[in-house]
Amino acid sequence: MEWTPDTAALESMIEWHIQSRAHACRVSGRQFHDGETYHTLLLDTKAGFERMDLCVDSFKEAAAELLAKANLVSHWKGVYEAPPPVPPDAIRKDDAESLLRKLLERREERHAAAAFILAVMLERKRILRVKGQSRDNGRRIFIYEHPKSGDLFTVVDPDLQLNQLAAVQCDVANLLEHGLPDEAPAIASVSLEPTEEPFNAPSEIPSLAPL
């Protein structure tokens, strides 16, 4: 069975998505060089999260103003890595990272829980790092960064209950094994009745080694 979210609640949440690292400074327009240090600021706007990638000089010139912004969610420094050549397409099963990217690109509400579990798995493997948290209509939103690519992953916490976790893990395992179908079949519903054991944070997730 697959976990089915509360659609009405999810419709009020900010869209979950990926934001790629810029290859040039937002202010000066200068292209970043491989190995160059840059600054990233994440701002909470009416349209959603907005990232700004700045070179060191541009950040220094406006640091006081930028860091004083009321809608600043997070700020950090990174090291720019030039993107490698695009490899030829290969037919293979999805790994956790590629699957998460596909789910976030599709933005299908029914996969919100699977995306959250995959993000936690990748954080534990040190593939993703939490860079900030925010709230939208009472729901937590985690901002993850992929250190190598610089991509940001915005993932909503679906407020899973412990009695829903097994169904979501089965869904994730199935997606990793068989991939994401182009045409999704009808899905079974899982009871969303409250339990006495809420699943509230990534740190509370049981071992996902069997996946």
> According to the model, what pLDDT value does residue 119 have?
93
> Are the C-beta atoms of 111 and 2 separated by less than 8 Å?
no
For the chain, the average pLDDT equals 78
18-51: per-residue pLDDT in tens? 788 999 999 999 999 999 999 999 998 887 889 9
Domain boundaries, the chain: 7-17+93-181+197-204, 21-79
d(CA 203, CA 65): 35
- pLDDT value at 187 more than 50: no
User: Which tokens hold the place of 116?
Assistant: 């959250």
pTM across the whole model: 0.60
- Provide the phi-psi class of 152: left if phi over 0, else alpha when psi is between -120 and 50, else beta: beta
